[in-house]
Structure formats: C-alpha cells, structure tokens
Amino acid sequence: MHCPLTEENKHIINEQTIASMKQGVMLINTSRGGLIDTKAVINALKTGKIGSLGIDVYEEEAELFFKNLSDKIIQDDVFARLLTFPNVLISGHQAFFTVNALNDIANAPLQNASDAENALSNENSLS
C-alpha cells in the first residue's frame, strides 16, 4: 500500500477488508500507519489469513522510531505483539532520507523565505 491517509481511508485495512483477502496474503504498507487497524492485522496474522506483513510506518510510531530503545521497556503492547511474529518485518520510515528528499527538505524553507522577501520587495516598489 502506498497512498495518503484521509478520513475516508483511515483503517482501510480492517476486519472486514481482511476477510475479503486471500488466505496467506502479504501486506506491505509504506505510506501511513493509520491505514491499518493493527489489532485486526494481528488477529489475521495469528490465523494465517495474513501470511506476512511488512511495514515502515505504524500508527503510534512517534515514540518508537528513530530512538535507541534497547534499554527501555516498550509500553505499546500492540507494537510489542507485532514484534513477536517471525513473518513481520518492521523498519523505520526511510523515504525522506533520499538525497533528493533531504535536498528538498533543506531548500524548500530557503525558497519560501526568498519568495516572501521578493513579494515584500515587489509590494514596496509598487507603493
């Protein structure tokens, strides 16, 4: 899956949509954690309805990714349960670490400031 998260598609992967999938389906989500009802996915993993899961996003990821938690007890029981499955791969969302993405992240605010300065200069020259 790779799509934006909207009010209409929040938890689009849920008990009902999982029931309509083929037995042993592979589910990959590389977009937004809120697309998946994680508890429903866990139940489907336990029954084999979902044969494997790969995610680099998780609905409650803010306190879990991009930090060294090796000496901490994970308080999120749902996430901790996902970690117990041998057929689940979880990684931190890396899409914004490409060279192009990092350049855009650095250059966009600079361009916005330049555009604002130019607009102000143009406004002042018209008065």
Catalytic residue list: 32, 61
Kindly state the tokens that stand for 77: 């029981």
Helix (DSSP H) and strand (DSSP E) numbers for the chain: 4, 3
DSSP code of residue 22: P
d(CA 9, CA 40): 15
Q: Are 78 and 38 in contact (CB under 8 A)?
A: yes
